[in-house]
Structure 1
Amino acid sequence: MSEPVHAIRNIGPKSVEGFARAGLHNAEDVREIGADAAYARLIASGTRPHFIGYYALVLGLQGRHWNDIDPEEKAALRLRFDAIVGGSKPDHPSALEAELDRLGVVDRPGR
């Protein structure tokens, strides 16, 4: 029997909906792909990025409490979080971005 996502330390029952929206329906799914890929999927599926939520997931997968983090580790995780958030732009522009692009307001590199 598989464990629910909130069986992972630091992941509360309220987060289950976001994980499900990201296609992560149990703790094994999250453990299999790891914290970075799981968090990228959460963001891509509409979860707002939040650094504490990210490092709580990382530490939870290690079996650690969310505030069991030293400054050096936190700084390293911040770099990983920023890379994930920076690389998680949706494939399709929002309605506002599409309209701005249509009007020629958005400058897109490579166009």
Structure 2
Amino acid sequence: MKFYGLFGKTLGHSISQQIHKKIYEVAGIDAAYKNFEITENQLPVALESLQILGITGANITIPYKQDFIPLINKLSPLAERLHSVNTIKNVNGAFEGYNTDYAGIALTFELKN
């Protein structure tokens, strides 16, 4: 089983766990997803926990989309250009940062009724 999560400051309103659970179920993926409320001073420890616990990746939400950047080993060109990360992938203990918000917004404008 793979494990994923969401890092943010206030996540009581988030339905990310329910959404990911359904996605994993429909796609037949053996995975679990958990919300992790953290404070700004816990960002380095949050990343370390991904390594220690073998968590495959995490989503990042406001207010930390820029704050994680100095802690990430490798940024995608888009994340670097936008100076915003919303997805972190744990690759053998090194962290890769991506921005998938941009692609989601771009797809919205491409939809046809």
Higher fraction of strand: 2
* TM-score normalised over the length of structure 2: 0.29
